């Protein structure tokens, strides 16, 4: 694996597109299967580089809490997602940032169009991935979604971003 490897970039792109589609289509189990056992899913607040162990984040889930989040969505009683938001993630500017010790770092820009009972909402973010190869498949060890407006009052974010 090397950063200049065009085939690797292609593979990363396909992974990110697929993850986005699973989120858009509320395929929660398949999405959960993309995570490693030591995963961190992080949506910071009040800046992109805060210390999540000291300061509030919008989401700061370890693997166990990712599981709770998915099971809550699957319960059919997560009111903020019943009915489910209609969603489309638009992913651009995908860059392979680094490859080291079996971990691939990639980053992209994301815009999400959400339509729900309230209205339509546009979310925009810089998303960083740390991916790892496990049994021939890529898995997410870490995903950080830095919303452009994470220092502002935000409407409910109950879908998977």
Partner 1 sequence: MASTSTDLDRLIRHDRVHGSLYRDPAIFDAELEKIWYRTWVYVGHESEVANADDFVMKSIGPQPVIMTRGRSGDINLLLNRCPHRGNQVCTAPRGNAKTFTCPYHNWTFANDGRLTAYAFPAGYDGQDMSRLGLGRVPRVASYRGFVFGSFAAEGPSLEEHLGGAAETIDRLCEASPEGEVEITAGFLQHRVKANWKFVLENETDGYHPAFVHASIFSVADSGIGALYGAKSTALSRDYGNGHTEVDLRPEFRRIGQPMAWFGTTADRVPDYVAKMKRSHGERKAREIMTDGTPHVMIFPNLFIAEIQIFVLQARGVDDTVQHVTALQLKGAPDLNRRLRQQTMGSVGPAGFLLADDSEMYERTQRGVQSRNPEWLYLGRGQHRERRDENGYQVAHATDELPQRGIWRHYRTLMEAA
Binding residues for partner 1 (CB under 8 A): 43, 45-46, 50, 53-61, 65, 68-69, 71-72, 75-80, 117-119, 151-158
- Please give the radius of gyration of the chain, using alpha carbons only, rounded to the nearest integer: 15
Minimum gap (Å) between residue 82 Cβ and partner 1: 9
Is the CB of 6 or the CB of 76 nearer to partner 1?
76
Q: Cβ(124)–Cβ(111) under 8 Å?
A: yes
CB of 147 to partner 1, least distance (A): 10
Toward partner 1, which CB reaches closer, 55 or 86?
A: 55
Q: Answer for the pair 41, 130: CB distance below 8 angstroms, yes or no.
A: no
Query: What residues have CB less than 8 Å from 22, skipping those under 6 apart?
Result: 30, 31, 34
Partners of 35 in beta bridges: 140
| Nearer residue to partner 1 within complex by CB, 15 or 159 | 159
Question: For residues 55 and 100, which CB has a smaller minimum distance to partner 1 in the complex?
Answer: 55
């Amino acid at each position: 694996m090397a950063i200049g490897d065009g085939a690797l970039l292609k593979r990363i792109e396909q992974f990110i597109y697929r993850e986005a589609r699973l989120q858009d289509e509320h395929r929660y189990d398949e999405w959960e299967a993309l995570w490693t056992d030591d995963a961190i899913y992080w949506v910071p607040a009040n800046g992109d580089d805060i210390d999540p162990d000291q300061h509030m984040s919008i989401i700061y889930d370890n693997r166990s809490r990712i599981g709770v989040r998915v099971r809550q969505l699957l319960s059919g009683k997560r009111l903020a997602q019943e009915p489910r938001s209609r969603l489309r993630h638009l992913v651009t500017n995908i860059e392979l940032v680094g490859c080291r010790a079996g971990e691939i770092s990639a980053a992209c820009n994301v815009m999400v169009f959400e339509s729900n009972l309230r209205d339509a909402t546009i979310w925009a973010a810089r998303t960083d991935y740390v991916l790892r190869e496990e049994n021939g498949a890529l898995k997410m060890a870490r995903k950080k979604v830095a919303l452009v407006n994470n220092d502002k009052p935000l409407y409910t974010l109950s879908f998977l971003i």
